[in-house]
Amino acid sequence: MSDYFINQPSNEIPTGSTTELLRTSRSLAYHAALPFYQSAPLVSLPHLAQSLGVGQIYVKDEAFRFGLNAFKGLGVSYAVHQLLESRPELATFCTATDGNHGRAVAWAARLANKKSQVFVPQDTTAHRIAAIEREGGTVTRVSGNYDQACAAAELASRQVGWQLVQDTAWSGYEEIPGQIMAGYLTHFQELETTLHPLPSPKVDLVFLQAGVGSWAGAAVWYYLHRYGRQRPKLVIVEPSEAAGILASFRAGRRVSPVGSYQTIMAGLNCGIPSLIGWDILQNGTDATLSIGDEYAKQAMRALFYPTGTDARVVAGESGAAGLAGLLALLTEPKLLALKAELQLSEKSAVLLFNTEGATDPDRFAQIVGAGHRGQ
């Protein structure tokens, strides 16, 4: 089952150091200068849209980004670049992760001929750990959840002198997560010749999956900065068992969710929202929606087994979460009020982001069908 919160956003960009980092970001120019850069493809799925009763569905497919099978390399590479511009002597980068972020840190460190230390929660799968190790990262499994892995990485960094590169922020640790958010702006800006021309976007509704909310916060800032009150409707999607943003909206402040932290959406299996993304989310999000794992599975299958002549999209559990939110919204009677608030109709153009491919091949094969192991 799903749950939701309808927000009343101010549509104003909060002031502060993070929003200044976002305003002055030159991430697209940095990424475009990399010899292996390619814009992530935009996929149109008209037959899926017709079958679901909406006008159009677009998917920005990040599974091909930098060969990492996920979007996280955008933020991490930009942040590491900014760090080494001022501190080239840094030798080891450290982070905590549910999988994709840690792999991106290890990859960025290797590109810069640096070392990396990556802390993971106890239930991180072997495939996700192996992917980090293939990029040169040294992995430490923590007896606990994501928040506890973050605490362990921070403590070790202070004790040993490693440079922490975390994508969630807290008081006193804000600049690096802000640079990561600034790096994420690249893939929104890539859409400016297609779905995001001025003066108004060509989409009505955008689903943004969230863990700590850094990527979602960057997206909300982008739409507020580019369109103001003319922006599309923005919906946050989280796992029901780790819905920190939903819990925080209800509390009116950042809180950790009450849940089991047991979800197949590993990249979204996080606790308290990032400090620097929270105000942005409050000011520009129309609603937040929590979903069960079954919707993620349905979405993965819908993308892998396309309707009609639609292209196949290989989406992992977290990557398919945006479509999973749309499926829940179109399926559950208890979400009718939310559907009406978002003005979702047969004419609506919907944008989704596939933030990861088949990052856990065994689980992917179990979900989409035996013998299919993704890419």
Among 60, 72, 233, 297, the active-site one is 72
Q: What is the predicted pLDDT for the residue at 173? A: 94
72 is catalytic: yes
Please write the tens of the pLDDT for every residue from 299-342.
Answer: 999 999 998 999 999 999 999 999 999 999 999 999 999 999 99
Q: Which of 98, 147, 279, 286 is catalytic?
A: 98
Instruction: Give the integer Cα–Cα distance in Å for 100 and 184.
Output: 14
pLDDT at residue 138, as a whole number: 97
pLDDT score for 255: 96
User: Both tokens of residue 359?
Assistant: 């990052």
CA 7 to chain centroid, in Å, comes to 20
At residue 373 the predicted structure's pLDDT band, cuts being 50, 70 and 90, is low
* Residue 47 CB neighbour total at 10 angstroms: 14
Does residue 98 have an active-site annotation? Answer: yes
How large is the average pLDDT for residues 262-271? Answer: 92
CA-closest candidate to residue 200, choices 236, 220, 228, 221: 228
> Do the beta carbons of residue 81 and residue 180 sit within 8 Å?
no
CATH architecture assigned to 73-166: 3-Layer(aba) Sandwich (3.40)
Instruction: Please give the pLDDT value at position 200.
Output: 93
Distances 277 to 56, 174, 199, 220 between C-alpha atoms, Å: 29, 10, 26, 9
pLDDT of 203 over the 70 cut: yes
Q: What is the pLDDT of residue 198?
A: 95
Instruction: Label residue 369 by pLDDT band (50, 70, 90).
Output: confident
Could you tell me the strand order of the sheet in which 138-141 lies? 138-141, 115-120, 92-96, 163-164
What's the mean pLDDT when you consider all of the chain?
A: 95
Whether the CB-CB separation of 328 and 343 falls below 8 Å is answered with: no
Residue ranges per structural domain of the chain:
3-70+177-368, 73-166
- What is d(CA 200, CA 202) in angstroms, rounded to the nearest whole number? 7
Q: Report the b/e string of 334-372 with b at 16+ CB within 10 A.
A: ebeebeebbebeeebbbbbbbbbbbbbbebbeebbeeeb
Q: What is the CATH number of domain 3-70+177-368?
A: 3.40.50.1100
Distance in angstroms (rounded) separating the CA atoms of residues 355 and 62: 5
Instruction: Tell me the per-residue pLDDT of 120-173, one tens digit each, with 9 for 90 and over.
Output: 999 898 989 999 999 999 999 999 998 899 999 999 999 999 999 999 899 999
Type and span of the H or E element at 6: strand 3-6
pLDDT of amino acid 151: 94
Locus of tokens 């689903």:
207
- The average pLDDT across 94-113 equals 94
Written as one letter, the residue type at 176 is I
Q: What is the mean pLDDT of residues 78-101?
A: 95
Inter-helix orientation angle 126-134/361-368, to 10°: 140
pLDDT, mean of residues 354-373: 86
Angle formed at CA 75 by CA 90 and CA 229, multiple of 5 degrees: 140
Report in angstroms the alpha-carbon separations of 96 from 72, 167, 224, 241, 308. 13, 9, 30, 20, 41
Both tokens of residue 375? 């890419």
Instruction: Tell me whether residue 53 is exposed, middle or buried, using C-beta atoms within 10 angstroms of its C-beta: 0 to 12, 13 to 18, 19 or more.
Output: exposed
pLDDT, one tens digit per residue, over 16-64 is 999 999 999 999 999 999 999 999 999 999 999 999 999 999 999 999 9
